[in-house]
Amino acid sequence: MSDSGLPDFAQPPVDETALSIQFAPIPGFSVPHFGLYWASVRNEYPRFELQQPVPNVTEQFGPGVPFGRQLGIAFLELPEIRCWFLDESGNRLVQVQRDRLVHNWRKVTGTETYPRYPALRASLEKEWERFCDFLKGEKLERPKINQCEVTYVNNIEYGKGWKGYGELDKVVAALATPKPKNRFLPDPERVSMQVSYCLEENVGRLYVSFVPVIRGRDGKEILQMTLTARGAPKSSSEEDVFGWLDLGRKWIVRGFADFTTAEMHNVWGKQ
Amino acid sequence: MSTAAATNRVTPPVHSHSLQQSGITANASIPVGGMEQWRLEAIQKVIGFGSLAPNWDSYGSEAPTRAVKQTAINLLLSVPGQLFPAPLIVPVSGGGYHFEWSVGDRELEISIESDCHIDALRVEHGMPIEDGPYRDFPALFDWLASH
């Protein structure tokens, strides 16, 4: 167990993490502000890439809400962009758009060591403070935060504790039941799976997915397990926002441990 | 999984939508569920050529960039169904890709240059028909299939 009391692994299969803070679109925030903001972080993030903005996503709860999530639709008058600001290695990036700031850590070569959540949280705190200071300097209003999101992407490679989808029960604990004898179906060729859970007191949801993918870095086919926790903090205060992110991370770590088997925990060096 | 033959349709709850992720991750991956083996191997080959060492052709060429690689993957993902054999794929000097599909007497050659510009060449009985910038890939593959 780690010092936070959560399951801890010496070699977790995590390939990428993203900590996201979504807010109401900041009035007056427009294309020139991306460049002005870059000037304030360029010494640490010397590269940039333009991307399509990601949609505004809000978890919905309660009766009369037909869908769990709501995608925001806006009639835009101005061009909308999302900008990635990357460090020299490409391992860390800050994503900014008019209604969101995201801080990612990812593997680029595949040999990097996961820096652990406390370090990533501290890094997001720094970037968030710097972003808010920038907005203040530009006389723009402080973001009104409406959703937080934590995403962990885990790459589970074949040959490390399991050989293929006929042995998925060696990876996914929920599937680790005895297989009936004389079953008709052969081993599956591939398996995809998606599950969602409500967080305590409906403060958000945890999404767990298993999808066979080709990894963009090296073309290897792997099983990608993605865990995303998303929900609304009580307020826009930093205490509530980072408290929610801590809760989301707790659900992800405990969900990961629940979902995967003890045998795979050994492969990943559970401590 | 295809549901084209189903007649009773329901709207699945949002939890079963694949759009559960908001798109905030940066590392690229391509879902392979139901993907034909030739397409999977072709995409892996495209990604593999992205790791070529500088000056791999001894003429100073770099490996294809991420944008060129993504364009090539998008092209492969847009090739219709299981109608076609695996293409020949080679990297080309300057940081691009060249694809060749052969069906009967017809060949379709598609090149992606380092600026992501795409050219296509149709060949029938060993003779080029025409070439130029194409965007209508379904029409090109329809031509190839109607040999």
Over residues A183-227, the pLDDT tens digits come to 888 888 888 889 999 999 999 999 999 999 999 999 999 999 999
Residue B24 domain-assigned (yes or no): no
Provide the pLDDT for residue B131. Answer: 60
Does residue A169 sit in helix, strand or coil? helix
| Minimum Cα–Cα distance from A151: chain B residue | B25
Alpha-helical (H) ranges within chain A are 31-41, 117-137, 238-259, 262-267
Per-residue confidence at A9, pLDDT binned at 50, 70, 90?
very high
- Picking from A96, A103, A149, A150, the residue whose alpha carbon sits closest to that of residue A122 is A103
- Tell which residue, A208, A134, A39, A224, has the closest CA to residue B31: A224
Strand ranges of the sheet holding B127-132, from the earlier edge strand across to the other edge: B88-92, B96-103, B106-112, B118-124, B127-132
Q: B19 lies in a domain?
A: no
Distances A97 to A22, A33, A80, B63 between C-alpha atoms, Å: 9, 10, 8, 31
- Which domain does B128 fall in, by range? 32-145
Q: Are A176 and A261 in contact (CB under 8 A)?
A: yes
- Token output for A243: 């408290």
Tell which residue, A241, A238, A174, A173, has the closest CA to residue A204: A241
Rounded CA-CA distance B39/B83 in Å is 11
Residue B4 lies in a domain: no
Give pTM, 2 decimals: 0.86
Interface ipTM > 0.85: no
Q: How confident is the model at residue B21 (pLDDT cuts 50, 70, 90)?
A: low
Q: Which residues of B touch A14 (CB under 8 A)?
A: none
DSSP alpha helix (H) spans, B1-147: 37-49, 66-78, 137-145
- Chain B residues at the A interface, defined by Cβ less than 8 Å, are 13-16, 18-34, 40, 43-48, 51
- Backbone φ and ψ for B100, nearest 5 degrees, come out as -135, 125
Q: Using one digit for the tens of pLDDT, what is the confidence trace for B40-75?
A: 999 999 999 999 999 999 999 999 998 899 999 999
From CA A245, how far away is CA A20, in angstroms rounded?
Answer: 9
Number of domains comprising chain B: 1
Q: How far apart are the first and last CA of chain B?
A: 29
Q: Where are the beta strands (DSSP E) in B24-143?
A: 29-31, 88-92, 96-103, 106-112, 118-124, 127-132
Could you tell me which chain A residue has the CA closest to the CA of B41? Answer: A219
The 10s digit of each residue's pLDDT in A14-49 is 999 999 999 999 999 999 999 999 999 999 999 999
B49 close to B63: Cβ distance less than 8 angstroms: yes
Q: Which residues of B touch A57 (CB under 8 A)?
A: 22
CB A137 within 8 A of CB A131: no
- Measured CA to CA, the distance from residue B25 to residue A215 in angstroms comes to 13
Task: Examine residue B37 and state whether it is found in any structural domain, yes or no.
Answer: yes
Is B6 a domain residue?
no
Size of interface A-B (CB pairs under 8 A): 104
> Cβ separation of A214 and B44 shorter than 8 Å?
yes
Confidence of residue B135 (pLDDT cuts 50, 70, 90): low
Is B7 part of any domain?
no
pLDDT at A235: 96
CB contact under 8 A, B30 and A190: no
Please report which confidence band the pLDDT of residue B14 belongs to, taking 50, 70 and 90 as the band edges: very low
- Give a yes or no: residue B84 inside a domain: yes
Chain B residues whose beta carbon lies within 8 Å of the beta carbon of residue A18: 24-26
Q: Which two tokens stand for residue A237?
A: 């205060």
Q: What proportion of chain A, given as a percentage, has pLDDT over 70?
A: 92
Strand-pairing partners, residue A204, are: A231
Query: Is B20 a domain residue?
Result: no
